[in-house]
Copies of this chain bind each other. A is one copy, B any other.
Amino acid sequence: MSDHPLVPGPSSAIERGPWHYGADYVSVYFQGDVRPLAKLVPKAFNVDEGLCMAYVCEIISVGDAGEAMVASRPDRTIYQEAALGVKCRFGDRQGIFYPVMWVTTEWSLLRGILNGYQKRLADRISMTKLHPLNPGLRPAGPGMEFGGFCVKGPETTLKVAVKILKAGSPKDLPSFGTTFGMRRFPKTDQTQGEVDELVEILKSNSKVSDVWVGTGSLSTTLDVGKIDVLSGAVYRSGFTISGSKVLN
């Protein structure tokens, strides 16, 4: 039969993995309030500090051996993403859980849900892009501002802004540990099976480059309590995701 939308394959919404990503980020790091943040993550995760990040990014992504799709089906290789992540702990393991991750394409929505991300479809995500040959634009550098927003229905669910102070390096970006997730596929009837499990995303090949650090600001429809922005950053990153592993 045709591939089921959630079962990776040629006629599915999801390419066969592992999946490779190259992304340009505008990120803001902030402190929220522990109590509302604790309500945004599964109970098994402890929110100790209230450290969070929010970002908007554009991603070029291909399945393993799917390089040709950047030419034959570019619409299956480009998407925008906006997300807010909360630092938390599972036992003695530190990580980040994203209560919501908005994306602009079906395939990133379903692939993410399959792997354990709480993805939602955005109506629109837009973010700063520069171009080295545009006579009216300077390259990234001190004083330059970057921004992005995510719209869903009548709401701007996330908006971030970063003002660059100086060039940085990958180690200037706060570390959150592993990426936590949750895979759910609930019953709608007692005869059905279900999946309900906490996972750790299997990420490798991480690289970061073109880091600029500065100040930031953000607004969101999620309740994160009082927002105390720590810093902002603009950078590029690449990585591979091969799936996710059940936490225990």
Q: How many copies of this protein are present in the complex?
A: 4
Within 8 A of B (CB), among A42-64: 42-43, 59-64
Report A's interface with B, CB cutoff 8 A: 1-2, 4-8, 13, 17, 19-24, 39-43, 59-64, 66-68, 70-78, 99-100, 105-106, 109-110, 113-115, 118-121, 123-124, 126-138, 144-149, 151, 153-156, 159, 161, 182-186, 188-189, 191-197, 199, 202, 205, 207-209, 222, 236-240, 242-246
Cross-chain contact A129 with B189 (CB below 8 angstroms): no
List of B residues within 8 angstroms of A199 by Cβ: 192
> In the bound complex, do residue A128 and residue B7 qualify as a contact, i.e. CB atoms below 8 Å apart?
no
A238 vs B135: C-alpha distance when bound (angstroms): 7
> Of B6, B61, B138, which one neighbours A184 at CB under 8 angstroms?
B6
| In the complex, residue of chain B having the shortest beta-carbon distance to the beta carbon of A4 | B184
A138 and B67 within 8 A (CB): yes
Instruction: Give the residues in chain B near A120, CB-CB below 8 Å.
Output: 5, 13, 106
| Residues of chain B with a CB closer than 8 A to A194's CB | 193, 195
Q: Is the CB of A192 within 8 A of B246?
A: yes
A13-B120, A124-B123, A149-B154 given; A60·B131 CB < 8 A? yes
Point out the residues of chain B lying under 8 angstroms from A154, CB to CB.
Answer: 73, 75, 126, 149, 151, 156, 159
Flag if B237 contacts A133 (CB, 8 Å).
Answer: yes
Q: Looking across the interface, which residue of chain B has its beta carbon closest to that of A6? A: B184
Say yes or no: A133-B238 contact (C-beta < 8 A), given A188-B243, A246-B191: yes
Bound form: Cα–Cα A120–B109 in Å: 11
Expressed in whole angstroms, the Cα–Cα distance for A129 and B182 within the complex equals 31
How many Å lie between the Cα of A115 and that of B130 in the bound state? 24
Q: Which residues of B contact A136 (CB under 8 A)?
A: 19-20, 62-64, 66-67, 240
On chain B, the residues within 8 Å of A144 by CB distance are 71
Residues of chain B within 8 A of A5, CB atoms compared: 113, 118-120
| Residues from chain B with Cβ under 8 Å of A105 in the complex | 121
**Shortest beta-carbon contacts, A-B, top 9:** A22-B131, A133-B238, A22-B134, A20-B136, A188-B243, A185-B185, A106-B121, A71-B145, A60-B131
For A147, the closest partner residue in chain B by CB is: B71
* Complex contacts, A21 vs chain B, CB 8 Å: 134
Q: Closest approach, in angstroms, between the C-beta of A8 and any C-beta of chain B?
A: 8
